[in-house]
Amino acid sequence: MAPSPRIIAHALHSRIRLLPCLSLAAIGIATLLTGCGKGDAAAGAAPQMPAMPVTIIEAKAQQVPVTIETVGQIEGSKDVEVRARVSGTLIRQAYREGDQVKAGAALFTLDREPFEIALAQARAALEQAQADLTRAEREAARLKPLVEEKAVSRKEYDDAATTLQTAQAAAVAGEARVRDAELNLSYTDVVAPISGVTGRARHSLGALITAGADSSLLTTMSSIDQVWVRFSFSEEEALQLRKQGEKTAVKLILADGSVYDATGRLNFTASTVDTQTGMVQMRAEFANPNRLLMPGQFVRVQVIVGKREAYLVPQAALAQTEQGKLLFLVSPENTVAPRPVETDGWSNHDWVVTQGLAPGDKIIIDNLMKLRPGAAVAPHAPDAAPGAPGSAKP
């Protein structure tokens, strides 16, 4: 059965009324999809990284001292073993270990009594020898005119003369024994042979000391107002040093990296090369008024043998890689530009760069671990704050 005209008209009217609603819904969906697309595009774009602030210095060629460096050991200008010259029991120690003492100061005392007895015996023997000498002199004087008058035989006078000579020799020997006993007695007081710093005592009180044996070593002394530093150079280095002549200066680098404030001078250079090591032994002398340098101490020795043009670069600015040594420079576009360089030793705390740099190069001296080739940087001078006006110019 066909629908009636009224039903058909009602259906058409309903469809016409829904068209605006569908249009609005379609526009909303399109707008929503467009907004989603823009959000996805924004999320996929990589954010722009800010330029990293770095401190730079400008490369400047300058005259740098040419130095040869090696390891040396300090010793006192006078190192003395203090030994007992006589045997005896150690009864007194008259100094504190490590004291600075003057030459002739008392250090130890050995038991004096046996030597006092020996001296008394030597003096008694001398007196007896002198008495025999006096008797022999009187006898020879008595017989001399008698033999001239032939009142006594020549043999009797000759025997008297021989006795006199024997008595004279005995008296001289007696005097020598007395001096020897006095000297041995004086040796019981062990004194400082030089002015210097005393070492530790090798024996405690009551120990038996034997002269001429290992136990005779009582302590050691070192004169350290002036110290010597022993070191060695190769044949090539020694040749450079000889060419420099008397103009060479010697510096010391201490264990904490500081430079010793006094400059030394060479006072010995071996005249031969050690055939086993190929090295030349040398020695330098340093003033040590504050006793900062101690015998036995190891130091780095730097000998200046001339000057050359090079660049000084802080230690922290240089990177060591498998390919060699690198510096990170700032390019004209303010990006990181690695530069391989060659160095030749140190000057104080700086590397001496001999090749790879040009005057005006901007060297990055910090944040090396964060740098990447081509990365943008914001350079500033060491005395300027990062980002300050003009900080890009050192």
Cβ-contact 266, 248 below 8 angstroms: yes
Residues 93 and 114 in one domain: yes
Does 144 reside within a domain? yes
Q: Please count the other Cβ atoms lying within 10 Å of the Cβ belonging to residue 385.
A: 10
Does 104 reside within a domain? yes
Both tokens of residue 225?
Answer: 């107002």
State the DSSP H helix or E strand holding residue 342, giving kind and residue range, or none if neither: strand 336-347
Rounded Cα distance between 197 and 195, Å, is 7
Does 8 reside within a domain? no
Residues 286 and 339 in one domain: no
The CATH number of whichever domain residue 233 belongs to comes to 2.40.30.170
Rounded Cα distance between 96 and 105, Å, is 12
Rounded Cα distance between 325 and 373, Å, is 15
Both tokens of residue 222?
Answer: 């070192």
Task: Please report the pLDDT score of residue 86 as a whole number.
Answer: 95
Handedness of CA 294, 295, 299, 301 (dihedral sign): positive
Cβ-contact 60, 160 below 8 angstroms: no
> pLDDT tens digit string along 190-248?
999 999 899 999 999 999 999 999 999 999 998 888 999 999 998 888 887 887 765 67
Cβ-contact 365, 316 below 8 angstroms: yes
Task: Please report the pLDDT score of residue 39 as a whole number.
Answer: 45
Residues 91 and 210 in one domain: yes
Which among 244, 227, 200 is positioned nearest to 286, based on CA atoms?
Answer: 227
Does 191 reside within a domain? yes
Residues 108 and 215 in one domain: yes
Does 145 reside within a domain? yes
Instruction: State the average pLDDT for the chain.
Output: 83
Rounded Cα distance between 367 and 357, Å, is 20
Task: Please report the pLDDT score of residue 29 as a whole number.
Answer: 34
Minimum mean pLDDT among 23-27, 33-37, 231-235: which range? 23-27
pLDDT of 320 over the 90 cut: no
Radius of gyration of the chain (CA): 49
Does 185 reside within a domain? yes
For the full predicted model, state whether its pTM sits above 0.85.
no
Q: Domain of 375?
A: 53-62+309-380
The CATH number of whichever domain residue 328 belongs to comes to 2.40.420.20
State the DSSP H helix or E strand holding residue 28, giving kind and residue range, or none if neither: helix 5-44
Both tokens of residue 175?
Answer: 């005097």
Both tokens of residue 61?
Answer: 């060629």
Residues 126 and 212 in one domain: yes
Confidence grade of residue 349 (pLDDT, cut at 50, 70, 90): confident
Residue 62, CA distances (Å) to 305, 310, 325, 342 in order: 16, 6, 21, 16
Rounded Cα distance between 138 and 143, Å, is 9
What's the distance, Cα to Cα, between the start and end of the chain in Å? 99
pLDDT of 297 over the 70 cut: yes
Which among 288, 296, 268 is positioned nearest to 227, based on CA atoms?
Answer: 288
Residue where a domain stops, chosen among 192, 219, 246: 219
Residues 131 and 201 in one domain: yes
pLDDT mean over 125-137? 94
319 vs 42, more confident = 319
> pLDDT tens digit string along 250-270?
889 999 888 899 999 888 888
Where does residue 118 rank: exposed (0-12), middle (13-18), buried (19+ CB within 10 A)? middle
Does 37 reside within a domain? no
Residue where a domain stops, chosen among 219, 254, 274: 219
48 vs 188, more confident = 188
Residues 128 and 207 in one domain: yes
- Contacts of 352 by beta carbon, 8 Å cutoff, 6+ apart: 64, 310, 311, 312, 343, 344, 345, 346
Task: For strands 196-198 and 249-253, give the pairing.
Answer: unpaired
- Contacts of 310 by beta carbon, 8 Å cutoff, 6+ apart: 61, 62, 64, 344, 352, 353, 354
Residues 267 and 171 in one domain: no
Confidence grade of residue 387 (pLDDT, cut at 50, 70, 90): low
Rounded Cα distance between 355 and 309, Å, is 10
Residues 149 and 239 in one domain: no
Residues 337 and 231 in one domain: no
Rounded Cα distance between 77 and 297, Å, is 14
Residue where a domain stops, chosen among 174, 197, 219: 219
Does 42 reside within a domain? no
Rounded Cα distance between 75 and 295, Å, is 4
Rounded Cα distance between 137 and 60, Å, is 98
Three-point CA angle 45, 47, 49, nearest 5°: 150
- The helix-helix angle for 154-186 and 113-148 (nearest 10°) equals 160
pLDDT mean over 310-317? 90
User: Where do we find the tokens 């249009």?
Assistant: 23
Residues 315 and 298 in one domain: no
pLDDT of 42 over the 80 cut: no
The CATH number of whichever domain residue 175 belongs to comes to 1.10.287.470
Percent of the chain with pLDDT over 70: 84
Overall number of domains in the chain:
3
Residues 163 and 110 in one domain: yes
